[in-house]
Amino acid sequence: MNRAPTLAADERGLIGKILVLWIVLGVLLLVAGIDTAQVLLTRFHVADAAQAAAFDAAATLRSSRGDRDASYQAALQAVHDVDADVKLTDFVIDGQTGQVTVTVTGKASTLLAARIGFTKHLTKVKTTETSGAPAP
């Protein structure tokens, strides 16, 4: 007796394969969401650190009557106070206007994006801020 294969016999394991595929897709979406949140949070922290550093450096420059070293130290401290993982990479004082320009960089700690070549650049954040001396 030769029996023809039934429809149910041909689809054995199909539900399991589809379930595994959906679980893998769900995990990838979850990791992508976490990485996106980390990058956005890092962008916020770097921008906040740059703004605080520029303002504090300009205020110190004004209060110390042009002491560039004190202004630089104030910028370093402001960056460290906002987030210890970000770095002050550039510091410029305009001698004519008294404006201070700082550049702050940081790197997002991601689960997957930093390990993939074409998304690695998205985890590196760089922000430049300029602030003038505040009014007395």
Shortest CA distance to 106 belongs to which of 130, 123, 93?
123
Task: List beta partners, residue 23.
Answer: none
Which tokens go with 40?
């956005």
Q: What is the pLDDT of residues 27-58, one digit of tens each?
A: 999 999 999 999 999 999 999 999 999 999 99
Question: Mean pLDDT across the stretch 71-79?
Answer: 95
**Range of lowest pLDDT (4-8, 26-30, 52-56, 126-130):** 4-8
Cα–chain center distance at 24: 26
Q: What is the CATH number of the domain that holds 99?
A: 3.30.1300
In a domain, 21, yes or no: yes
**Band of the pLDDT at 7, cuts 50, 70, 90?**
low
In a domain, 96, yes or no: yes
Sequence-ordered alpha helix ranges (H) in 64-83: 68-82
Q: How many domains is the chain built from?
A: 1
Residue-range definition of the domain harbouring residue 63: 12-131
In a domain, 2, yes or no: no
Nearest-5° Cα angle at 59, 56 to 64:
120
- The answer to whether the predicted template modeling score (pTM) of the entire model surpasses 0.95 is no
